[in-house]
Amino acid sequence: MQLFLDTTDTAVLKDLATTGLVDGVTTNPTLIAKSGRPMAEVIAEICGLVEGPVSAEVAAMDVEGMLAEGRKLAAIATNVVVKVPLTRNGLIATSEFAVEGIQTNVTLCFSAAQALLAAKAGASYISPFIGRLDDHGADGMELIREIRAIYDNYGYDTEILAASIRTPAHVAEAAIAGSDCATIPPATFEALFKHPLTDKGLEQFMADWAKTGQSIL
């Protein structure tokens, strides 16, 4: 499964990219606002830090506005993926972007029916929001499983990008459910490396090694 970072913090991105485990980046208007920087500048810098897809979201709600903004964003770098909301206008724009060869990430998906429409529109990625569904008493992972079944049934190429990920367990569960990708906050990415038993085992190994008085070098 591909792992994307959901961030506009380029300093954090530079650090985590050194792991070789970051496959792409997603952004949204909230993250851009928090950066306090011009959107085009932020996206261009991120695209220079990672080779994989970088999602940049349109702000317009009408079709023509989405198309104009999406084309401008796609022109920033070859790895930009235009992010559009899962609305009627968003899917109309997605269909046109598909014709033009512009990759899209259809966001704010909360049902399998919505995901079906996005795939029919030619979306490159669909972003079901797992955590937000869980917050409202639904089963976010069940949505991943439903989308996976629909896409497999009909051979859709749209990739499932699990979003609104809150914990390492969410990442593992999304992978088991068949998600192609997951976009996660940097803190959750860091948490993927950790387990208390790993720390405890390593502490014991190092203590035992120190007793030998040996050096590998």
Coil vs helix vs strand at 217: coil
For residue 170, give the amino acid letter.
Answer: H
Per-residue CA distances from 1 to 4, 10, 167, 175, 177 (Å): 10, 23, 16, 6, 11
How far is it, in rounded angstroms, from Cα 185 to Cα 41?
21
Residue 2: Cβ within 10 Å count: 16
| Pairwise CA distance, residues 47 & 119, whole Å | 25
- Would you call 194 a catalytic residue per the annotation? no
- Report which residue type is found at 208: D
CB count in 10 Å sphere of residue 214: 7
70-92 burial, b if ≥16 CB within 10 A, otherwise e?
Answer: beebbebeebbbbbbbbeebbbb
Catalytic residue chosen out of the listed positions 14, 34, 72, 83: 83
Residues with active-site annotation = 83
